[in-house]
Amino acid sequence: MSLEVLKRGLLATVQDIGRRGYGKFGVGTSGVMDSYAYSLANWLVGNNGEEAALEITWYGFAVKFLSDTLVSITGADLAPESGGLSVPMWRPVFFRQGSELIFKRPVSGCRSYVAVSGGIDVPEVMGSRSTNLRAGIGGLNGRALESGDVIHIQHSASSYIRLSDRSENSPFQTVKWSAAPHMTYGGSQVIRVTRGRQFEDFHQEARDRFFQSEYSVKPESDRMGYRLSGPVLGMECPREYISEGVAAGTVQVPADGQPIVLMADRQTLGGYPKIAQVASVDLPRVAQLPPGGRVRFQEISHSESEQLCFEQARQMRLLKTMIDSKLKEENNAAD
């Protein structure tokens, strides 16, 4: 089973949950930017939630299915089409051999996820199939996908492929239900954060400004970090800091006073002062902010951040149970 890239689009890579435990060796985590959409995409095709998938940024990417394939598309609405028909998102979709899928334009958000039953089959590097563009490892030869690339799919033991029995002559067939997302992908977001390690080193005015002002996403933002434009954040006594470990969602402030939110392809160490840390539950919404997107920061406590994480985990378990139940119903209906 395989698929062929017809158009590369702006950026498309193979990603999974990333490389864990290699930061001490200077190897970044990489992995998907929007873990919420990625997990749901995998569950919707009967995968375990950690299989490699395609991360599509913005528009222009097109692929041809070289075999019958069960697919789901989640995350940003990039106007997916097949055979001139709009392809529904957040549900399993069966594509017949020879069908094509193209992402026409961004409607909301900026990153879509395409999961296939069985998962994308590329070699593992340090326990992950994720592409790290800066290091040139993982994915397909450590690079973004290009026109003409053939991507293999792992064998799927999932019986949910029985959805194919209903496809008839349409380029694709789907179900009536969907796993509606619990978050919105818009151009303006309120992002919850806890105080960073050097929060107290900033001017009181800068701290107030950080929480009271609106910032916009700069065009040069990428998978390494989201550069923001807005009120300058000044230090009480500017000085050099010893580099220390950073995480996804760490908000650093370089010498120009403009915040940077570190993302999936971040470095393992950072020497800029850290004013805040994005709550993990809000990282997917940051990841979906397009260039020009607007963001405000809301302070919460560490205990509140933990509770949000626990609640999200509970909701995800419920979603997984619902999806498994629906897929079982589809399977039984095909008998």
Does position 332 have pLDDT exceeding 90, yes or no?
no
Separation between Cα atoms, residue 25 and residue 310, nearest integer Å: 30
Give mean pLDDT, residues 26-45: 95
How far CA 119 is from CA of 16, 114, 151, in Å, comes to 10, 10, 11
pLDDT of residue 168: 61
- Best mean pLDDT range from 149-158, 191-200, 241-250, 326-335: 191-200
Separation between Cα atoms, residue 301 and residue 268, nearest integer Å: 25
Q: Where are the domains of the chain?
A: 2-184, 188-300
Q: Which 3 state secondary structure label does DSSP give 315?
A: helix
Q: pTM (2 decimals)?
A: 0.93
Does position 34 have pLDDT exceeding 90, yes or no?
yes
pLDDT of residue 237: 81
**For the segment 188-237, what is each residue's pLDDT rounded down to a tens digit?**
899 999 999 999 999 999 999 999 999 999 999 999 999 999 999 998 88
At position 107, the amino acid (one-letter code) is V
Separation between Cα atoms, residue 253 and residue 162, nearest integer Å: 52
Neighbouring C-beta atoms of residue 125, cutoff 10 Å: 19
Spatial contact of 240 and 218, defined as CB atoms under 8 Å apart: no
pLDDT of residue 159: 45
Separation between Cα atoms, residue 20 and residue 279, nearest integer Å: 19
| Fold of domain 188-300 | Cyclophilin (2.40.100)
CB neighbour list of residue 277: distance below 8 Å, 6 or more residues apart = 193, 194, 195, 196, 247, 249, 250, 251
At position 88, the amino acid (one-letter code) is P
**For the segment 252-278, what is each residue's pLDDT rounded down to a tens digit?**
999 999 999 999 999 999 999 999 999
**Residue 28 class from Cβ within 10 Å (0-12 exposed, 13-18 middle, 19+ buried)?**
buried
- The number of residues in the chain equals 335
pLDDT of residue 236: 82
Neighbouring C-beta atoms of residue 169, cutoff 10 Å: 6
Considering the chain, what is the average pLDDT of its residues?
A: 92
Spatial contact of 122 and 14, defined as CB atoms under 8 Å apart: yes
Separation between Cα atoms, residue 330 and residue 164, nearest integer Å: 11
pLDDT of residue 158: 56
Does position 106 have pLDDT exceeding 70, yes or no?
yes
Q: Which 3 state secondary structure label does DSSP give 21?
A: coil
**For the segment 117-147, what is each residue's pLDDT rounded down to a tens digit?**
999 999 999 999 999 999 999 999 999 999 9
**For the segment 223-249, what is each residue's pLDDT rounded down to a tens digit?**
999 999 999 999 888 788 889 999 999
Residue, of 22 and 11, whose pLDDT is higher: 11
What is the percent of the chain where pLDDT is above 90? 81
* Lowest mean per-residue pLDDT among 52-61, 164-173, 202-211, 325-334: 164-173
pLDDT of residue 240: 82
